[in-house]
Amino acid sequence: MGSNDIGDWYRSIPQMTKYWFTGSVVVPLAAKFGLVSGMSLILSFDAIVYHFQIWRLITSVLFFPLSGPGGFHYLMNLYFLYSYSTRLETGTFFGKPADYLFMLLFNLVCLIIIGFIAELFLLMDPMVLSVLYVWCQLNKDQVVQFWFGTRFKAMYLPWVLLAFNMIIGSGGLIQLVGILVGHLYFFLMFKYPQDFGGASLLHTPQILYKYFPNQRGGMSGFGVAPASRRRQENDNNGGRHNWGQGNPLGD
């Protein structure tokens, strides 16, 4: 029964989140058991440009956490990845895997550029936080719970995590990078077209729709924040994607 429950849970994970979550479990475990070298997974300009180790662009951002495999920090990363990536993919991006994949790719490219400039070698932590940030901005009035029963609006959650990491001594720079990248995507895709009346500056490439077509009717792509949809999700207590009062983050 337990194995069936786990199988049903895994099959219920939406497509893009499933790929990301699976890689974030398999790759660190492979490094932990010596099947691959952890040093071969980090972001390295020389290795990528001169030795064509292209896989580092993916492993250093999506699959290998700053803390390495195992430990509380790694498990929290997996929790945030699964929870908030699933919420985005089954909420704002429901039925639009190409659009969600484009968001992940946009954030990934931005983080790689920052990583090269700032000599940051592992960027999974800010990648996860960038996704969390986008969800929090699209659901800014949603009430979430943090450790010790603290409750606040979702729009403050990324900053609470930043402050928490600064308090425990990890600096907070990585978290700040994730917030900045998440805000850049949110601003260009949603806020600038809606609040400033500007043109839509980001568009999902058509080749992504070819391989990941929309799974429901409607036009491909979008350029303004789905405000009416967010209000419906927040107000509709019986809706499929209503997140109620939020989930505890520290359980």
Q: What are the tens digits of pLDDT across the range 50-99?
A: 999 999 999 999 999 887 777 888 998 999 999 999 999 999 999 999 99
In terms of Cα–Cα distance, which of 153, 174, 145 is closest to 162? 174
Assigned domain for 245 exists: no
The pLDDT score that the predictor gives to residue 111 is: 97
- Is the pLDDT at 251 greater than 70? The verdict is no
* pLDDT above 90 coverage of the chain, percent: 63
- Is the pLDDT at 222 greater than 70? The verdict is no
What are the C-alpha distances in Å from 182 to residues 8, 92, 156, 186? 31, 15, 14, 6
Residue 166's pLDDT band (boundaries 50, 70, 90)?
confident
- Is the pLDDT at 186 greater than 70? The verdict is yes
Assigned domain for 3 exists: no
The pLDDT score that the predictor gives to residue 110 is: 98
Beta bridge partners of 143: 153
- Is the pLDDT at 250 greater than 80? The verdict is no
**DSSP result, 170-199:** S-SHHHHHHHHHHHHHHIIIIIHHHHS---
Higher pLDDT, 174 or 230: 174
In terms of Cα–Cα distance, which of 94, 98, 194, 56 is closest to 137? 194
**Domain of 169, in residue numbers:** 72-235
Assigned domain for 121 exists: yes
Assigned domain for 41 exists: no
- Is the pLDDT at 223 greater than 60? The verdict is no
The pLDDT score that the predictor gives to residue 2 is: 52
* pLDDT above 70 coverage of the chain, percent: 84
The pLDDT score that the predictor gives to residue 12 is: 94
Assigned domain for 47 exists: no
Assigned domain for 194 exists: yes
pLDDT in tens, 97-135: 999 999 999 999 999 999 999 999 999 999 999 999 999
Assigned domain for 177 exists: yes
- Reading the block at residue 161, the tokens are 């995590």
- How many domains does one find in the chain? 1
Assigned domain for 32 exists: no
- Is the pLDDT at 34 greater than 80? The verdict is yes
